[in-house]
């Protein structure tokens, strides 16, 4: 744990605490600022966030693919997509009768079923340990396949402002009962990601600059709200992002229909992922022909062609679940170079200005600098003087939050980060 020596001793979870008027438990607010890159974490762009933390990482490495839903579930579970099963923002699973079901992140009817979501999220761990939890629009289901649910759940509402999110958090903080007031709040803020998809990641663009101001003001207001409740010595605020962002271009396009030819393109059964393309075909012969054709093109193009197993290895999925690999990971993947996009002539015809969109994108190799995420923390568990720490994997956030909450080891599920190293977090 690269941040272990930056923590100070925190009282046991059972130790009585108070803000002076009400009993409290040790609490954590985990905030995700979707799409915020480490390069944005400067006094000029994010003055409050860059100056408030007692602990900030040079960067935090997301899991691959560097997409919103896979990374938000990895942050909460401490395992990679090959184990928790959310392998993209949109994908299919092939059932035993060879039929398919589609997961689509923007549609709760096609994404909230708990059977999609493997591993155990932090809010479930907290609830099992006797602590209340709350979820504010964080990507994930309202109830797991095992029937576990957070005490408080606010679904994602399109168009909600940062003020709407702050009011929701304040309402939870103002709950009088220590058993109802959430010890863990997981809050999702999409503003920067939405702006950078539309305009590209350049912070000088007015829409991106406005989004950065909005999320920075949100963090400042959140810290003020905590202080106004005399809870600054009771609440740790951990701010992360899920991935970075890079610029796309109409000069960096791979036409899938052209690459395969009309006949093979018509044989596609399902297409998964984005910007990568996971392909299944209607027949084994079509799949073989497509593999041969694309392999030749890949030698002189800006994409890799990978089968499922090599893809899992390249994406550093540790011990992927065999059911996930068999049911949810397409057998053939086109993985574009960073900044390249896979499209079709039909899709390009929908852009009235002839310019490929989104103009900013992610989902590429998680090791690339443009894909890196942020980590910053502030609160009573961290040293008062600002400390900058080396990069680390986002899978480690799970263990950190468990430590901050004082979750006993017997309640913690297995992750891809060794539990034995967590003992160094407190001293």
Interior CA angle at 179 toward 13 and 182, to 5°?
80
Instruction: For residues 134 and 200, state if they share a domain.
Output: yes
- Specify the pLDDT at position 271: 97
CA distance 55 to 358: 33
Instruction: Find, among 141, 152, 250, the residue nearest to 200 by Cα.
Output: 250
pLDDT at 96: 87
Q: Does residue 91 lie in a domain region?
A: no
At 4 the pLDDT is 54
Are 381 and 336 found together in one domain? no
- pLDDT tens for the chain, 427 residues long, are 555 555 554 555 556 799 999 999 999 999 999 999 999 999 999 999 998 778 999 999 999 999 999 999 999 999 999 999 999 999 999 998 888 999 999 999 999 999 999 999 999 999 999 999 999 999 999 999 889 999 999 999 999 999 999 999 999 999 999 999 999 999 999 999 999 999 999 999 999 999 999 999 999 999 999 999 999 999 999 999 999 999 999 999 999 999 999 999 999 999 999 999 999 999 999 999 999 999 999 998 999 999 999 999 999 999 999 999 999 999 999 999 999 999 999 999 999 888 999 999 999 999 999 999 999 999 999 876 678 899 999 999 999 999 999 999 999 999 999 743 333 333 3
**Same domain, residue pair 306 and 162:** no
Give the whole-angstrom CA distance, residue 372 versus residue 391.
9
Q: Are residues 298 and 318 in the same domain?
A: yes
In a domain, 97, yes or no: no
Residue 100 CA: distances (Å) to CA of 86, 87, 114, 270: 16, 15, 17, 9
In a domain, 114, yes or no: no
Q: Are residues 181 and 56 in the same domain?
A: yes
What CATH number is attached to the domain comprising 262?
3.30.1360.180
Q: By 3-state DSSP, what share of the chain in percent is helix, strand and coil, each rounded to 5?
A: 35, 20, 45
φ and ψ at residue 6, rounded to 5 degrees: -90, -5
Q: For residue 349, what are the domain limits?
A: 253-361
Name the phi and psi angles at 259, rounded to 5: -65, -40
Of 319, 337, 361, the last residue of a domain is: 361
CATH code assigned at 383: 3.40.720.10
Answer yes or no: do 190 and 288 share one domain: no
Single out the residue of 234, 246, 278, 211 nearest to residue 66, CA to CA: 246
Q: 243 and 259 share a domain?
A: no
Which of 361, 396, 411 is the endpoint of a domain?
Answer: 361
| 328 and 412 co-located in one domain | no
Dist CA 227 CA 77 (whole Å): 30
Number of domains in the chain: 2
d(CA 135, CA 150): 7
The Cα angle at residue 119 between residues 151 and 98, in degrees rounded to 5: 115
């Amino acid at each position: 744990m690269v941040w272990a020596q930056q923590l100070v001793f925190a009282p046991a979870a059972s130790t009585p605490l108070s803000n002076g008027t009400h009993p409290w438990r040790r609490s954590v607010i985990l905030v995700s600022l979707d799409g915020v890159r480490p390069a944005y974490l400067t006094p000029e762009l994010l003055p409050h966030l860059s100056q408030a933390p007692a602990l900030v990482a040079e960067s935090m490495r997301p899991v691959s693919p560097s997409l919103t839903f896979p990374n938000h579930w990895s942050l909460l579970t401490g395992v990679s997509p090959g184990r928790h099963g959310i392998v993209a923002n949109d994908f299919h699973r092939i059932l035993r009768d060879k039929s398919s079901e589609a997961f689509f992140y923007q549609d709760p009817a096609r994404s909230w079923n708990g059977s999609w979501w493997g591993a155990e999220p932090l809010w479930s761990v907290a609830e099992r340990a006797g602590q209340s939890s709350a979820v504010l629009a964080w990507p994930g289901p309202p109830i797991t396949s095992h029937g576990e649910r957070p005490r408080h759940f606010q679904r994602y509402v399109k168009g909600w402002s940062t003020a709407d999110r702050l009011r929701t958090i304040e309402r939870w903080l103002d709950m009088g009962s220590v058993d109802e007031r959430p010890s863990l709040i997981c809050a999702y803020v999409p503003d920067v990601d939405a702006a950078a998809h539309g305009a590209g990641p350049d912070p000088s663009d007015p829409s991106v600059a406005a989004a950065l101001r909005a999320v920075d003001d949100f963090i400042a207001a959140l810290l003020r709200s905590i202080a106004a409740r005399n809870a600054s010595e009771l609440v740790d605020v951990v701010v992360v992002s899920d991935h970075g962002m890079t610029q796309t271009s109409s000069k960096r396009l791979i036409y899938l229909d052209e690459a395969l030819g009309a006949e093979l393109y018509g044989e596609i059964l399902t297409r998964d992922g984005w910007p990568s393309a996971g392909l299944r075909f209607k027949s084994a012969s079509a799949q073989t022909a497509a593999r041969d054709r694309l392999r030749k093109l890949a030698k002189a193009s800006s994409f890799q062609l990978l089968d499922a197993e090599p893809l899992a290895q390249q994406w550093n999925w540790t011990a992927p679940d065999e059911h996930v690999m068999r049911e949810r990971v397409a057998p053939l993947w086109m993985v574009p170079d960073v900044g390249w996009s896979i499209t079709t002539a039909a899709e390009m015809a929908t852009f009235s200005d002839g310019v490929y969109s989104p103009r900013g994108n992610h989902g590429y190799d998680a090791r690339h600098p443009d894909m890196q995420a942020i980590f910053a923390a502030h609160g009573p568990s961290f040293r008062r003087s600002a400390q900058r720490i080396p990069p680390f994997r986002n899978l480690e956030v799970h263990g950190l939050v468990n430590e901050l909450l004082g979750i006993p080891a017997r309640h913690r599920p297995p992750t891809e980060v060794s539990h034995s190293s967590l003992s160094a977090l407190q001293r």
